[in-house]
Structure 1
Amino acid sequence: MTQTLSPRSLALLAGAAALALLALDQPAQAHQIATGGLAAGFLHPISGADHLLLLIAVGAAAAQLSSQLLLWALAGAVAGGVAGAMGAAVPGLELLAALAISAVALLVLRSVRSHQASPQVLAAGLVASAVATHAMLHGLEAPAEGAALGWWFGAFAASVVVSGGSFLVLRRMPQAWTRALALLLVLCGGVASLGVLGLLVR
């Protein structure tokens, strides 16, 4: 007997394919000095696959573990953004940014599979650190001219929309969706990491 896919399964597969394509399309390598104001800032976090995937992972973590993780993500964003704007950087930052996606997704996957939340301090520290890594890249890319304030506001608004939207959607969905998404994000983070390593060894 032939099994047909339900609309829910089809939607999940479509989302999985879209995320996989995002991870494969120039993973964590399209970072350049940003220009423009509000609109450019809004598009910046969602036009880079690695940033977008991390924002979704943060929303999933908040939905699975605690909504307070969104506040920790905000703290990490501020700290990393300020550090990057001041010129701070760490070795292998692009690689760390890609690995951060898998790290947050593994946190979610562990919680779903074990049916118990990870220690709050560990989860908060991991999410804040992961977001700080990406925000540091934002800070290094941010425009230095008068449009910088609008750019930062736009980038912040886009990050809130994606993470908050992911949180609101996933908290109302069956856990099977969160598990599937977390597994996919782990794989996408791995693909993005391989992409960065491939650039480094060229």
Structure 2
Amino acid sequence: MTLAPRLPTVLVLAIVLALGAGPALAHTGQGEAHGLAQGFLHPLMGLDHLLAMVGVGLLAARIGGRAVVLVPAAFLAMMALGGAMGAAGFVMPMVEIAIAVSVAVLGAILMLRPALPVAVAMAVVGGFALCHGHAHGAEMPDAAGGIVYGLGFLAATALLHATGLGLGFAAGGANRLRYAGAGLAVAGLGLLAGAF
């Protein structure tokens, strides 16, 4: 029996356990654990963020090779920058629209399967990650420490990327990834309609 079919199950279980642990950490009061829990839960509580981050993992799995590491890493790096910008009060116009577009575009890429070099995939996800990070940083609670809060949302994002990678590897064929992409594209269009 191979590890690939079990990997998504393990990752989903990890997310469920992390979600269950979040409220317990939130009751520890002020301080680092509180900020870490708030940051960790933020990407998991918004459907737009959750779908986009899993979509990044699916895309990295579809491209394969070094994209498995480089595409999620590009997202995380640019998300950290966006988070710092949002926390510092930098205004980014139409962030919510860009976040909804990110879900639709990632879905379309998975569905249409264009030949996408790793560098282009990194640039695409990095641009979207700046918007996702900005939203997280701008919505940071006043009581949360910026660095600890940021580490929380980056950890949750990495977990969602890993979930997408696991699902992508377990999909076992281009058609299943196309169906997943179609679902993401439709969800992104729905989110986009709600963003106006």
Please give the range of the TM-score, normalised by the shorter of the 2 chains.
0.7 to 0.9
Does 2:179 correspond to 1:177? no
How does the TM-score come out when normalised to structure 1?
0.72
Say which is worse superposed, 152-161 or 133-142, in terms of deviation: 152-161
Per the TM alignment, residue 146 of structure 1 is displaced from its structure 2 partner at its CA by: 5.0
The TM-score, its normalising length taken from structure 2, stands at 0.74
CA displacement, residues 49-87 of structure 1 (integer Å, 9 cap, x when unaligned): 111011111111111112121111112212211211111
Contact 2:52–2:103 at 8 Å: present in 1 too? yes
Measured at CA, do residues 191 and 146 of structure 1 come closer, stay the same or move farther in structure 2, by a change above 3 Å?
Answer: closer
Deviation, structure 1 residue 192 = 0.3
Please list the CA deviations of residues 132-165 of structure 1 after superposition, one character each: whole Å capped at 9, or x if unmatched: 1111111101134354333222211111111112
How many residue pairs were aligned? 158
% same residue:
27
Identify the match of residue 121 of structure 1 among 119, 122, 144: 119
Q: Which residue of 1 aligns with 2:107?
A: 105
RMSD between aligned residues? 1.6
More divergent stretch after superposition (186-195 vs 78-87): 78-87
- Stretches of structure 1 that go unaligned for 5 or more consecutive residues are 1-35, 198-202
Deviations 1:1-28 (A, max 9, x none): xxxxxxxxxxxxxxxxxxxxxxxxxxxx
Superposed, 1:154-165 pairs within 5 Å as 154-165=152-163
Separation in structure 1 between the aligned mates of residue 147 and residue 84 of structure 2, nearest angstrom: 13
Residue type at the aligned position of 2:91: A
Q: Quick one: distance in 2 between partners of 1:86 and 1:106?
A: 33
Question: Could you say which structure has the higher helix fraction?
Answer: 2
After superposition, the C-alpha distances for 1:79-135 in whole angstroms (9 at most, x for unaligned) are 211211111222211111111111122222232xx5xx3133321111111111111
